[in-house]
A and B are shown apart, each in its own frame.
Chain A
Amino acid sequence: MALDTPQEAAQSGAVPGTVSLRGQFDISADQPLPGYDSPPAMAYACSQTRDLSRHLMALVCDPKLPPRTDVIPALRRIDHGCMVKVLDWGVVDWPLEGRRCPVLIVERPQGQRVFRATDTETKPLPEELVMRLFLQPMAQILAEIQAQGQVHRAIRPDNLFYDDAQRSRILLGECISTPPALTQPVAYETIEAGMAVPAGRGEGTIANDLYAIGATAIALLIGRAPCHDMRDDEIIDSKMQYGSYTALVRRARVSLTMMEVLRGLLHDDPKERWTVDDLNMWISGRRLSPKPPGLPTRAARGFVFMGKEHLTAREVAEGMSRHWDKAAEAIHDGSLDAWLRRSLSDEERTEAVNTAKTVSVVGDDANDRITARVIIALDPFGPVRYRDFRATVEGVGNLFGAFVDDQEARRLFVGVMRGNLLPFLVETRGKPTPEHVRQLTLYDKARSFMDRMGMGYGVERVAYELNPTMPCRSPLFETDFVVAVDELLPAYERLAERGGIGKSRLVDRHIAAFIAARFKGAIGGELRDLENATDENVPLVAAVRLLSAIQDSQPNRSFPALCELAAAQLRPTIQRFHSRRRRRGVEGEMVKVVRAGRLGDLLEVIDNPMALESDQRSFDHAVRLFSRSLHELRQLQYERTNRGRIARDLGAWVASLISGFVGITATLTICIIALL
């Protein structure tokens, strides 16, 4: 989604105005601040209600690209004057979009951007200023970020601001409005992260931020973005071929002093790359000799693939990933093996490729899996590459979360997971880091969810498990932004107030997966009942029961509109009661409890087991009565048809009784008279 500007909104008829965030901040939707936009987030004037003198702005984020709200608490603890401070965040009804959007409230820098955009040129800064205004504060900020266990991942020239007109201070912009590294140009990313698609770069480590500081420093020194005239793939090829420092500096003149820090920060081996401490020591005056670029093993003769000569295993891996369908041929015809043995002479890589090929794979995607494994074997420190799915280990979940509704992305993600590519990648790298072990545990758990297809499971559940800040992607909440489970019922309430959900189900696959991932209560039974196909009433009741469980965990919150919506959804289940009188009674009670806004009360009325059982018993009795009356009617009809014969028999019988009575009476009377 691209957010609308006020002009576009005016054309579409939306009326901008002031939007309040929790009554503490007033956001002026009609006062955009394009100079402070942080694409895709857009900046608007903002004021704090209790302190109008503060210079603030609101960044309205793209709801499809969830902001990193989970890092806000940690970053708020960092009190450094050279970092734009994030004060608060929330979700507001944004009139320009006609939907709810996440909004960040940040301090507004007093000066302009250092670079208006990534591709603009500006006056180069002297080395002294780069060191004093940029490297020195950034090193301090990174130290604090590292102490908080976080990363910034948005360090680039166009995210730097002057804090005053005199340009005496540079501020580092915010890093929360988009997923990590999503908007970073390839030049500011390490080779590994640059090879991944932006959404799949993952959080990375502080080493990625240090690399970005190095690349940004070059931009400040030369007055333009490094490699500004090159495509992304050309930048990556250049970095692989010459090393990042050489590729980014190119023919620019850099002093030996700066060369030292830049080589250290832009070192392509993360283990050799400078740490925050190294940078701080350098700033405090300790000078080290410049580190050599540390280029990988080069082959004596290049491997020609798709008309291009590749000299390193990583280059071959990247070339194969770009021409996926042709890669399988090169893998199977033996040319790669021959090149690895004869030209590269890297026993470790040769062995890894052989291991990658020996796995037994069947199915349509067998070639894809072999290719992906060979690419991993050739470049174990690169991202996982599976056709167009290219992500770092920690970025796999982010990438899938960004494209969870795309069928092709789903197919590729399932391929990555079923092919066990991540464990193979970590295994090929050697000794796994604690972070990788944690990631693999997370993916293992996710895979167990992926293999179950019921409601609350499947790929949707995986997406929510791997992306804690991903909003619920249900079509019901298309115009809302629900990140936490306690925001779900208020969102339903708004939905119900807007006019309900038509014939849609109250809980769809996305909502079920969202609840299963975020809600800690015991809801296994409800999830199973959601897909009950034998009784159509069971899923309806289970959906409301699920929401009721959430409401029970939030005492003293009532949702009358949601209750009314739930009552409408549950209306067919009244048919479970056979008694018409009881049905009318239940409907009447539903109307009463809806006003109270508690879903549990509604369920007690409509899903009371004792009442249902009693009704069933009474119905069975009524059936028996009806059956008996049917039998009697049949008997009656038979008697009607044979009435003449029955009347004759009955008449004869009655006649014999009368005659007997009269005859005996008369005889006895005569006898008595005769004897007297």
Chain B
Amino acid sequence: MADTTKKKGGKAATKGGGPKTGPLIAWVAAPIIGVVFFATILLLTVGMLPTIAAFVVDRYPRKLITKTVGFMNFAGCAPYVMQLWTGSQTVDQVADILGEPTHWLVMYGTAGVGWTIYFLMPPLAAAWLAVSQEMRQKALQGQQQQLIEEWGPEVRSAAGGGTDRPPETDAMLEAAAASAANAEGNAPPPAG
């Protein structure tokens, strides 16, 4: 046990103290970047306010709404960031850019497109799920039927599926049990 700890410590030391140097670089680099790219940061802060709002309301652990809105919002801000980089990169130029209402429309409009994509996808996914589940069920029931035809009802009882009720009934019973468990917050994880 002691040897293992020693080995692990030795390995960490040879890598050059990565975990310790990361925050140090961040603390050094961040003020420098903040100073050098102040105008860009200012523009993006104002232009990506919808993404910040999406981050606030996003309840997904993987922040899927933020990503959806953020990617589109950034694409909307990108022309003005490029304009800033090819220009003087000053606060005045940022003020000029923000002073144009169409620029606001472009930046916030692309964020709206992101929201639109987010709202359109779940119904489409539900429709696709309904169709694919139906097909899977038919395929599985067909397979069971074939097995029963070849091996008789005893194949079902040997598999633990009961002897005198069809598999649909088993599935319904299982589903009812799962729903009850879900209501108590103990639902099994979704497939995939």
Contacts and interface: CB of A to CB of B under 8 A. Distances in A.
Contacts of B170: 630, 633-634
Interface residues of A, number: 50
B37 interface: no
Interface in A623-676: 623-627, 629-630, 632-656, 658-660, 662-664, 666-667, 670-671, 674-675
A180 B156 CA distance: 67
Contact of A674 (B83, B121, B175, B188): B83
A642 B125 contact: no
A623 B155 contact: yes
Interface string B5-34: 000000000000000000000000000000
Contact of B129 (A622, A625, A643): A643
Contacts of A625: 143, 147
B171 interface: yes
Contacts of B46: none
Contact of B68 (A579, A629, A652): A652
A655 B118 contact: yes
A582 to B, nearest CB: 9
Contacts of A632: 136, 140
B120 A655 contact: yes
Contacts of B101: none
A581 interface: yes
A646 B190 contact: yes
A578 B155 CA distance: 9
In this complex, which of A580, A634, A643 has the most chain B Cβ atoms within 10 angstroms of its Cβ?
A634
A663 B72 contact: yes
A654 B129 contact: no
Contacts of B191: 635, 638-639
A666 B78 contact: yes
B133 A652 contact: no
A573 to B, nearest CB: 16
A581 to B, nearest CB: 6
B156 to A, nearest CB: 6
Given A654-B125, A667-B74, A643 B155 contact: no
B129 A663 contact: no
B161 A626 contact: yes
Contacts of B126: 643-644, 647, 651
A345 B150 CA distance: 89
Interface in B44-65: 60, 62, 64-65
Contacts of B82: 670-671, 674-675
A637 B124 CA distance: 20
B116 to A, nearest CB: 9
B158 A667 contact: no
B165 to A, nearest CB: 12
The interface centre, meaning the residue of B72, B121, B172 with most chain A CB atoms within 10 A of its CB, is B121
Contact of B75 (A635, A651, A670): A670
A636 B71 CA distance: 34
Interface in B126-178: 126, 129-130, 133, 136-137, 140-141, 143-144, 147, 149-152, 154-156, 158-161, 167, 170-172, 174-175, 178
Contacts of B71: 656, 659-660, 662-664
Contacts of A645: 190
B102 interface: no
A658 B122 contact: no
B158 A659 contact: no
A629 B136 CA distance: 10
Given A626-B147, A636-B136, A674-B79, A656 B67 contact: yes
Contacts of B70: 659, 663
A671 B123 CA distance: 34
A642 B188 CA distance: 11
A652 B60 contact: yes
B182 interface: yes
A630 B173 CA distance: 12
B4 interface: no
A666 B76 CA distance: 9
Contact of A651 (B121, B130, B149, B171): B121
B172 A637 contact: yes
B179 interface: yes
B112 to A, nearest CB: 12
A659 B114 contact: yes
A640 B133 contact: yes
B151 A622 contact: yes
B95 interface: no
B160 A630 contact: yes
Nearest to B80: A670
A579 B150 contact: yes
B152 A578 contact: yes
B149 A580 contact: yes
B91 interface: no
A635 B187 CA distance: 12
Contact of A649 (B118, B167, B172, B190): B190
B36 interface: no
A659 B69 contact: yes
Interface string A48-79: 00000000000000000000000000000000
Interface in A155-204: none
A639 B190 contact: yes
Contact of B137 (A636, A638, A658): A636
Interface in A600-641: 619, 622-627, 629-630, 632-641
A530 B51 CA distance: 84
Nearest to B174: A634
Nearest to A648: B122
A630 B83 CA distance: 61
Interface string A61-99: 000000000000000000000000000000000000000
26 contacts: A578-B154, A578-B155, A623-B151, A626-B147, A626-B155, A630-B144, A633-B137, A633-B141, A637-B172, A637-B178, A641-B182, A646-B125, A647-B123, A647-B125, A647-B126, A647-B129, A649-B60, A655-B68, A656-B71, A659-B69, A659-B71, A659-B72, A659-B114, A662-B71, A667-B75, A671-B82
Interface of B: 60, 62, 64-65, 67-75, 78-79, 82-83, 85-86, 110, 114, 117-118, 120-126, 129-130, 133, 136-137, 140-141, 143-144, 147, 149-152, 154-156, 158-161, 167, 170-172, 174-175, 178-179, 182, 187-188, 190-191
Given A651-B122, A659-B72, 13 more contacts: A622-B155, A623-B151, A624-B159, A625-B143, A625-B147, A626-B159, A652-B64, A655-B64, A660-B67, A662-B75, A663-B71, A663-B72, A670-B82
Top 4 A-B pairs, shortest CB-CB distance: A663-B71, A651-B122, A651-B121, A647-B126
